[in-house]
């Protein structure tokens, strides 16, 4: 009995010692985005339209992550392959999702979701197609300016926390310049080693106890976030 207890205690200690590392490693392999999907409503049964809008939102989320991993030029050149082999599999890449907003307007059902996607699964399938070019990997020593737009700011203290995090806690950031702030929206230029995809991942990993950031739009040098209370 004593040996059994020791084994249980040892296993528990091992789990809690390595659990934060496992979570951190896993979170590096996912991307959280917000997207809105639409679907036409036919007749009085809204259920098919709701399902269609959710599916459209999921597909758009996958398209968003593909846009992070490959350039617009590569995506355009391989549009048929992406439409045939990547986007139809959107459900395979979604780990979980939450409906944020839903409504019917002008015969269309609109549903906005916050989805968590497996970046590694998408990368694997892009590699199989031969379209993962690695163009989003920054060159060592390369300084870029990333425009960061944050919406949904309810308190100045939350924005101050975010800016301090950018200036001191995010790898590769050299300087942060506030360009505009008002009506719950802040716009900043971030000088950093790398590009927008790296900054987005860094910010989503470093969550605060008061709020979290969710990507709503991303290009090579621009990120738009929604700030949501935790």
Domain count, the chain: 2
The overall average pLDDT reported for the chain is 80
In this structure, what token pair is assigned to residue 168?
């001191």
Cα–Cα dist 24/6, whole Å: 28
Whole-number pLDDT of residue 31: 81
Q: Which of 172, 184, 179, 85 is nearest to 126 (CA)?
A: 85
Do 84 and 167 belong to one domain?
no
Whole-number pLDDT of residue 57: 95
Considering only CA atoms, give the Rg of the chain: 20
Q: What is the pLDDT of residues 117-142, one digit of tens each?
A: 888 899 889 988 888 755 444 444 45
% of the chain residues with pLDDT over 70: 80
Is residue 10, in this structure, part of any structural domain at all?
A: no
41: helix, strand or coil: coil
Element (H, E) at 96: strand 94-105
CATH label of the domain that carries residue 110: 3.30.1660.40
Tell which of 78, 100, 129 closes a domain: 129
Cα–Cα dist 180/125, whole Å: 40
Do 107 and 152 belong to one domain?
no
Q: What is the pLDDT of residues 83-105, one digit of tens each?
A: 999 999 999 999 889 999 999 98
Average pLDDT, integer, range 47-63: 94
Whole-number pLDDT of residue 53: 95
Do 180 and 219 belong to one domain?
yes
Do 38 and 122 belong to one domain?
yes
Is residue 92, in this structure, part of any structural domain at all?
A: yes
Residue 150: phi and psi, rounded to 5, are -120, 125
Strand partners, 188: 148, 178
Is residue 44, in this structure, part of any structural domain at all?
A: yes
CATH label of the domain that carries residue 215: 3.30.70
Average pLDDT, integer, range 41-65: 92
Count the alpha carbons within 13 Å of 84 in the hemisphere toward its beta carbon. Answer: 5
Tell which of 129, 163, 196 closes a domain: 129
Average pLDDT, integer, range 23-35: 61
Residue with tokens 């790296």: 198
Is residue 53, in this structure, part of any structural domain at all?
A: yes
Is residue 15, in this structure, part of any structural domain at all?
A: no
Tell which of 65, 95, 129 closes a domain: 129
Do 121 and 67 belong to one domain?
yes
Element (H, E) at 188: strand 185-193
Whole-number pLDDT of residue 14: 40
Is residue 9, in this structure, part of any structural domain at all?
A: no
Using pLDDT thresholds of 50, 70 and 90, give the confidence band for residue 143: low
Do 36 and 122 belong to one domain?
yes
Is residue 204, in this structure, part of any structural domain at all?
A: yes
Cα–Cα dist 206/224, whole Å: 17
pTM of structure? 0.57
Do 35 and 111 belong to one domain?
yes
Whole-number pLDDT of residue 18: 35
Q: Which of 56, 60, 63 is nearest to 108 (CA)?
A: 56
Do 196 and 122 belong to one domain?
no
Q: Measured between alpha carbons, how far is residue 21 from residues 13, 27, 28, 95, 212 in Å?
A: 14, 10, 11, 20, 20
Q: What is the pLDDT of residues 13-26, one digit of tens each?
A: 443 333 333 333 33
% of the chain residues with pLDDT over 90: 31
DSSP assignment letter at 167: H
Is residue 8, in this structure, part of any structural domain at all?
A: no
Do 184 and 212 belong to one domain?
yes
Using pLDDT thresholds of 50, 70 and 90, give the confidence band for residue 187: very high
The domain containing residue 95 runs over which residues? 30-129
């Amino acid at each position: 009995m004593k040996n059994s207890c020791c084994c249980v205690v040892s296993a528990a200690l091992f789990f809690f010692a390595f659990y934060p590392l496992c979570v951190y490693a896993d979170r590096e392999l996912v991307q959280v985005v917000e997207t809105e999907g639409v679907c036409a409503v036919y007749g009085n049964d809204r259920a098919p339209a709701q399902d269609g809008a959710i599916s459209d939102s999921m597909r758009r989320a996958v398209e968003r992550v593909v846009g992070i991993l490959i350039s617009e030029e590569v995506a355009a050149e391989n549009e048929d392959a992406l439409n045939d082999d990547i986007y139809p599999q959107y459900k395979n890449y979604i780990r979980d999702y939450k409906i944020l907003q839903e409504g019917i307007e002008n015969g269309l059902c609109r549903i906005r979701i916050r989805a968590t996607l497996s970046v590694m699964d998408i990368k694997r399938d892009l590699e199989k197609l031969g379209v993962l070019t690695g163009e989003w990997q920054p060159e060592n020593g390369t300084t870029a300016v990333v425009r960061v737009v944050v919406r949904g700011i309810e308190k100045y203290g939350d924005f101050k926390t975010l800016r301090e995090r950018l200036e001191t806690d995010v790898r590769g950031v050299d300087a942060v310049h506030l360009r505009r702030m008002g009506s719950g929206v802040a716009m900043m230029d971030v000088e950093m080693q790398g590009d927008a995809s790296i900054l987005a991942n860094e910010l989503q990993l470093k969550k605060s106890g008061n709020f979290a950031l969710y990507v709503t739009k991303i290009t090579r040098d621009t990120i738009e976030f929604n700030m949501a209370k935790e």
